[in-house]
Amino acid sequence: MAMKQIDTHTPLALVTGASRGLGAAMAEALAAQGWHVLAVARTVGALEELDDRIKQHGGQATLAPLNVTDPAQMQHLGQSIASRWGGVGLWVHTAIHSAPLAPAAHIAQKDMESSITTNMTTTAMMIPMMEALLKARGGRAVFFDDPRAGQKFFGSYGATKAGQMALVRSWAAETAKTGPEVIVAQPEPMPTALRARFFPGEDRAPLSDIRTQAAQIIEAHRLYP
């Protein structure tokens, strides 16, 4: 992972899961607001396309093609951020695993394990690392709720997403007076690849535009540099 040297006063926003969907839209919108975006995802090609779009609109980004579920890679990321920038002004976490829908009695073990690893274990691994980096810059963290727990066929996704949100809300309550501020947003239904996997025959026309949702989230929570 090669990172460019940036002045420590530059407003830095880390977006994990930035290669597509809401993560990519948030990265573009934050860059347009003046954040330098550190975009993390596994797919190099998608990150490069994101970088091109950000640059076309006068923004700046640093690409980090990493696997958020890998503790060693995330530790290296945290160390790199601390040494180069001193901290993070904003962390937007959109990385998620969506296993195929299945009845609870027929969930494949590998799908459940992948859901637990990405949606819960990774969040639990990153919060301790990010708390110090966010405090160093008076930063904020943003997560996104998608309440599917208890719905038919959403066993692995719904349970692990609910677990993630429980952890995040505990963190928010614990840091309410000390910081960092932890925000939980709940976007309107959007025509993402994730939703298409859940609802393949859905009429996507009424769904909210992803970029519109990103802009509204930034405005609602005043996620400005």
The crossing angle, in degrees rounded to 10, of helices 44-56 and 21-33 is 30
1, pLDDT greater than 70 = no
Q: pLDDT digit string (tens) for 120-154?
A: 999 999 999 999 999 999 999 999 999 999 999 99
Q: pLDDT digit string (tens) for 30-55?
A: 999 999 999 999 999 999 999 999 99
Q: How many CB atoms lie within 10 A of CB 24?
A: 26
CA-CA-CA-CA dihedral for 63, 74, 181, 156, to nearest 10:
100
Over the chain, what is the mean pLDDT?
95
Instruction: Work out the pLDDT band at 2, boundaries 50, 70, 90.
Output: very low
170, pLDDT greater than 90 = yes
Measured CA distances, 26 to 87, 95, 121, 181 (Å): 20, 12, 23, 18
Q: pLDDT digit string (tens) for 95-127?
A: 999 999 999 999 999 999 999 999 999 999 999
Q: How many CB atoms lie within 10 A of CB 126?
A: 21
**Predicted TM-score (pTM) of this structure:** 0.95
CATH of 12-219, one of 3.20.20.60, 1.10.3210.10, 3.40.50.720, 1.20.1740.10: 3.40.50.720
